[in-house]
Structure 1
Amino acid sequence: MAEHTAVVKQLEGITFVGKTESNQWVTMDGPESFGGSNSAIRPKELLLLSLGGCTASDVIAILQKKRVKLDDFEVKISAES
C-alpha cells in the first residue's frame, strides 16, 4: 500500500493552507462563530468532498471496465456534526 503525505500550515487564527504531495494547494477556514473568517472551505466540507471524489472515481472506473455508458453521475454525501 502506498503512503501519502500532506502538510497543513496555519496562516492566521484558524485559517490554514494545505499542500498535497502532488503540489496542489487548498485554503481552509472556519465559520465566524468558531473564530474563523469564513473565507475558505471548511475542513469538514473538504473531507466530505474527498470521500465523494474517491467514491466517484472508484465507481466510474468500475463502470468503465464493464463498458457501462453514463449520461450523468453524481454522488451526494451528508454528515452530522
Structure 2
Amino acid sequence: MPLEQIRQSIESHLIEGCWFDPDAWHIPRFSFHRLNAFGLNDYLWYEFEALDYTEADTDSSSIDELLRRITA
C-alpha cells in the first residue's frame, strides 16, 4: 500500500486532524504518564505527527492490522 494512502487513511480517523485515543486504537500507553492536580491523566489523546517507511525487520501485516483497528 502506498505511504500516502496509509497516511490519508490514518488522518481521516484523527480527532481535530491530529489527535487519537490510543485506547480506542488498541495501542499501549506510554508508561511515563502522570496525573495532573485534579487526579486526571494529562495525556488522554496522542498526536499523530508523521509516517514513513522503515528498513527495520518488521511484520508487514502490522500496518494492515492498525488500519483495521482504527477504522472499526
Give the structure with the larger strand fraction: 1
The two structures share one fold, judged by TM-score above 0.5 = no
Larger Rg: 1
TM range, normalised to the smaller chain? under 0.3
Decide which structure has greater helix share.
Answer: 1
- For normalisation by structure 1, the TM-score amounts to 0.25
* Normalised TM-score (structure 2): 0.27
